[in-house]
Structure 1
Amino acid sequence: MDSDFKSKCKNGCVLSCVCTVVTGVVMIYYFYQSISQTKYSSDIMEPPLPSFRHEKLQSDANNTMECQSCSVSVPNVILQYGHPRTATTLQFNILCLSMALLHEDVKNSVGCYYNKKKSKKYIVIKTHAIAKFLTKIPSHSWIFMTSKVKFSPKEKQRYSLTRQNIKVIRAKNITIKYVADINFVSKRGHSVVYEYQPIFGISDAKMQHMAEYFRYWDILRLCCGKQMSADWRNHLSLNPNYKRHHVHNSSIHSVCERYNISQVEVQFLNTYAFKTFAHIDSLRDVIGKPSTVDGKLDGSYCERCNANITHRSLKFNQKCA
């Protein structure tokens, strides 16, 4: 890795997340070089280095930060893409809530959808199959991605960007805005939302709503619902042949055992973001749920779901409440 690139990593505000994982940086860096030189060493490409367009944040008399031009520069369409189980749902939720907060004054203008595109002024789409959306989204859109340091050959073949993908991205001036590494996200927890503040230029006041929401969402995502942590699901319904992803005293177990899940759910229902956006038709499948396939939270959904997993040995994505 050359000295210029190291310097950029050290000085970049948001790029610090990429610099945290040295191996990942090397992989991403050489992919970025191949794109910038329009030379392709193979048909299958690794996730690219994100590019950033930072908006100028102005400080007011109360020393809070407001973006002067972000609502103009943020595109109308954002695509979220990544390998399953690399925190794609977390990133999708962050992007969805960011757009909802950014355009809060324009009623019913934002829609967030899994693997489909509908007619709304501002759209966030999550997909695990990027090719079919590259031709559908407009020029100058943004792509956000998730990644991990080690991909198996099969994963690399299926989920890495192809040369054709890159040609379309370049031709349509689409920006790969940010790549979130799963290891970095795991260490940061819900505070990872602050990585997105300078990208969207969200004010400090609205970031407080973001942090409040994801503080509780992060717990629910691990400990509740159809797509809860596999380790916690096995804790609720023991399978003697199950191989743990984390040791028994890991943070996942300590979090799920520490909290009264119904109390967390009630706190979640009382957040500003939930009360403001969870009942909007174009947002309610994303905002206000641990996953897009879960049912409506009501204060006891998680308790019922966990009990049913225990008594009926329910598997991933099976209806639990």
Structure 2
Amino acid sequence: MEKLLQVENLETEFTKDKQKIKILHGVNFDIHKGEVLGLVGESGSGKSLTSLSVMKLFKGTSGEITSGRIQFNNQDLTKKSESEMRKIRGKQIAMIFQEPMTSLNPVMKIGEQLLEPIRLHLGLGEKKAREHAVSILKKVGIPRSEDIMNEFPHQLSGGMRQRIMIAMAISCHPQLLIADEPTTALDVTIQAQILDLMKQLQEKEKMSVLLITHDLGVVAEMCDRVVVMYAGRVVEEADVFELFESPKHPYTKGLIGSIPKLGQKKEKLDSIKGNVPDPSNLPKGCKFAPRCDDVMPLCYSEEPPEMKLENGRSCSCWLYKEGRREIGV
């Protein structure tokens, strides 16, 4: 499959109190054309910052990409100016943010917000742009599309606002859609509708999708491949079926093991002990070592490199060092 996006050794840092704090450490992954890639991990693992780095959305912050490449359609986005990125954002790469109520402008009508990227990127006149906007609203299952254009975000339900965000994201037919926790704060029924809608649109538009979530149930339903992140690093990458069938990294095993299972009777749910480390005070060696049940002395002194496994899988764990592969498998 042809690669649409290649992230290579991506490093991003922020400045706090004159101190440089690195958040992303050598992140690597690819997205193929027409593929849905899941990016999973706990809150604070670097998932959302990875997507913001791909979009270069650091304006007003101290964030900056300090190393690595982001190849999109054979262009290195890290070398693009802000004006060049504006032409790419919304048209070639679009993003659905976590909370639509904070992403939509509360004092602008839905129509105004929807028409802006359409007119900017597609160059349509007012009448044609409005017709296109209404057709997109109908495509995402919004009734009363003409009326909705004249309403404000606060007049709509959470599910409707999320559909509006999806409509805005796909309005210019992007090649890559980044969906950052697209079902957060929605009830289970609406979540299922939104995910079903995204899957239909992805298949119909032949888009590639980077789906960022901590919900492994969503990953199992939506994704082709999965990248697992921890403390700003990729710790495992695998086909979605292989990941759930046979997780390799102890962190991945912990995430999957913490999912409640129907019919399973337990007094206490499984969980991963401890918390994601503070980026400004990371432990030496493997960053997961203080929380790992399979920890070895080596884990506390040296950080494991990415190790290639069978079927194109990869895992950053000393358990899979040559000669130790039988351990934990």
The TM-score by the shorter chain falls in which range? under 0.3
Instruction: From the two aligned structures, give the one with the greater strand fraction.
Output: 2
Question: Normalized against structure 2, the TM-score is what?
Answer: 0.25
Higher helix share: 1
